[in-house]
Amino acid sequence: MNEEYALTHHDAVRAVKVHFKAVTDKLPSKPIHEVPYEEIIRIAGQTLGDHTDFRTAQSNVLVPIQRGKPIYSKFELAHKILTERVLSQLRAERLVQRKHLPLLRKALGELYARVPPEVRKEQLAAFNLLEKKMGPDDTNELVKRAGELWQTHAKQYEKAREAMSDEMKRLRLPPEMFGNPTNHIVLTFATNAAEVRERLELLKTDKLNLKQGYQLAAA
């Protein structure tokens, strides 16, 4: 986590969105949670291999680089794809309205690593507003199901990554890009709205960093 990145947090968020869109623009025209992970990985390798932001590192894998530095953590694209798959399925299951998706996306966090405390405050504010709009019962149901879906999709992701390990090498995709993060610092162990708020409160005061978050959750 001590690696220096080329972009600020908000610029990195924008870069992840650009790279995610470059991949999803070439996916079949159906909800992303219905697209097999194998297809996403294959198209990602083909798309990012031609993208001007990606270079082949010494380890012969594609890395997003600007001015000689990584643009963002190697886990970010996987985090974005996992998040959007969960949101897509929640929408399909009618547990969240389309108009509430931006708030939910903001509350879940738009980057996986190196998120500053002030952004965690924005996450908490977004979650509180989401609960106000949806009501406590529907929010509790949403949180519980979102956590379940995160684990389901993470396991599917890992299975696809293992099955495609040789093809990923040919596509120059680093294993971490499509193997992590299997846990979500908020969703994985929060089963209701109160637990989400508790974790975000700790994160926004910088009392709970990423590694500590997973250690606490596993306790």
**Would you say residue 197 has pLDDT above 50?**
yes
Which pLDDT score is estimated for 132? 97
Which pLDDT score is estimated for 90? 98
Q: Which residue has the higher pLDDT, 39 or 182?
A: 39
Give the mean model confidence (pLDDT) for residues 34-57: 90
DSSP per-residue codes, 130-188 = HHHHH-HHHHHHHHHHHHHHHHHHHHHHHHHHHHTHHHHHHTT--GGGGT---S-TTTT
Which pLDDT score is estimated for 67? 82
13-17, 28-32, 111-115, 116-120, range with the lowest pLDDT: 111-115
Q: Which residue has the higher pLDDT, 78 or 20?
A: 20
| Average model confidence (pLDDT) across the chain | 87
**Would you say residue 184 has pLDDT above 80?**
yes
Provide the whole-model pTM.
Answer: 0.88
Q: Which residues pair with 10 in a beta bridge?
A: none
**Would you say residue 207 has pLDDT above 80?**
no
Give the mean model confidence (pLDDT) for residues 64-80: 87
Give the mean model confidence (pLDDT) for residues 1-14: 82
E-only strand ranges, 24-136 = 54-56, 62-66, 69-70
**Would you say residue 9 has pLDDT above 70?**
yes
**Would you say residue 182 has pLDDT above 90?**
no
Residue 118 amino acid letter: E
Which pLDDT score is estimated for 218? 39
Give the mean model confidence (pLDDT) for residues 85-112: 95
Read off the DSSP letter of residue 65: E
> Would you state the structure tokens that stand for residue 71, as one six-digit string?
């643009």
The residues, ordered by sequence, that sit 6+ positions from 84 with a Cβ below 8 Å of its Cβ are 20, 24, 32
For the chain, percent of residues with pLDDT exceeding 90: 51
